Amino acid sequence: MVIVGGRLTGCSIAYHLAHLGWTDVVLLEQHRLTAGTTWHAAGLITSAGMTDETALFFSRYSRDLYARLEARDGEVVTVTDVTFGTTLLTVQGPASRELIGRLTDADPSNDAFAYLTARPIHVGYAPVLAIRVTYVGELGWELHVPAEYAAGAYDDLAAAGGDLGFLPVGLQAMSSLRLEKGYREREQGPPRHRVVSLIVDDPAADPFGNEPVLAGGEWAGYVRAAAYGHTVGGPVGLAQVACDDGVTGQWLKEGDFRVRTPDGEVPARLQIAPPYDPQRLRILDR
């Protein structure tokens, strides 16, 4: 058995196969084991925003597995709660590379710091784990900063980014941006059920989630989340829809979709690709 990729999933598969008695398992990883984004780092358990039952199951399974490992001969595990010792600063936008580059001697270029990779660097005086990842559809980094350095790191970023348009943003703004980019928690079920991007052309409409989605006047699903997309100039969201013949791009393109709101039904467009930057050129900075 050859497993390609040594992040959390690859390491977990290798561990469980060995525990089941497999003796011919090879794990291939071009970097170091568990290299990758925080969400894929070994041992990290997070519950923020976990509404998906499968994700919750894996999180709880991992928690219980760590508790059992000490009872097995030759296996040792240590679990450390670092919640109160770490602060997350997320730097997002077209100028994020230039801003971080002003405060570090590390190389933030595409060649040296690819998308979905992580590395320890210094930002100003702060030692941080920098992760090139985004949930708003732009070039960006997450900076995981020891709590005692957080205020100083933020002040350094604000001072260095004054001429770059540095501004703090709230979670509602980030939610709007992630819906424009079509970031999904997890697609559900078989192909006849699918989470897709939703665009409402009426800028005065105000969907907020849980509204019925109709196809040809018949119920087809519901809006899971919605917000006003300032980049695309109208309401956007994610809708969970179903079709017995499969939710395909052709069905979405040809369908007569409407969203039922308290103010009446409004026409909507549904598509698999996100309404903003579907080729991820902004994120990859190409």
Residue 256 confidence (pLDDT) above 70 = yes
Q: What is the mean pLDDT of residues 221-234?
A: 91
Q: What share of residues in the chain are helix, strand, coil (percent, to 5)? A: 30, 25, 45
Q: Indicate if 219 and 263 belong to the same structural domain.
A: yes
Say if residue 214 is in the same domain as residue 264: yes
**How high is the pLDDT of residue 51?**
47
CATH number of domain containing 239: 2.40.30.110
Q: Which range marks the domain in which residue 266 is found?
A: 186-271
119 found inside a domain: yes
215, 265: one domain:
yes
pTM of the model: 0.61
Residues 197, 131 within the same domain: no
CATH number at residue 117: 3.30.1360.120
Query: Do 64 and 87 fall into the same domain?
Result: no
Tally of domains in the chain: 3
- Measured distance CA(238)–CA(270) in Å, rounded: 9
Residue 147 lies in a domain: yes
Q: Convert the pLDDT of each residue in 55-78 to its tens digit.
A: 667 667 777 777 677 667 777 767
Q: Is residue 286 part of a domain?
A: no
Q: Give 257 or 56, the one with higher predicted confidence.
A: 257
Domain boundary among 137, 168, 199: 168
Q: Would residue 229 count as lying in a domain?
A: yes
* Domain boundary, last residue among 168, 199, 221: 168
Residue 117, pLDDT score: 87
pLDDT at 30: 61
Cross-strand partners of 2: 26
3-state secondary structure of 16: helix
Amino acid at 221: G
Q: CA triplet 61, 63, 67: central angle to 5 degrees?
A: 110
Rounded Cα gap, residues 189 and 98, in angstroms: 41
pLDDT of residue 65: 75
Assess whether 190 and 160 both reside in one domain. no
**What is the Cα–Cα distance from 220 to 214, expressed in whole angstroms?**
5
Mean local confidence (pLDDT), 118-132: 93
Could you say which of 45, 69, 93 is where a domain stops?
69
Residue 237 lies in a domain: yes
The pLDDT value recorded for residue 164 is 96
In a domain, 76, yes or no: no
- Classified as helix, coil or strand, 33 is coil
Q: Is the pLDDT of residue 2 over 90?
A: no
Among the listed residues 169, 273, 170, 183, the one whose alpha carbon sits nearest the alpha carbon of residue 225: 183
pLDDT of residue 165: 94
Q: How far apart are CA 166 and CA 218, in angstroms?
A: 46
Whether 110 and 147 map to the same domain: the answer is yes
Parallel/antiparallel/unpaired status of strands 26-28 and 2-4: parallel
Percent above pLDDT 70 for the chain: 81
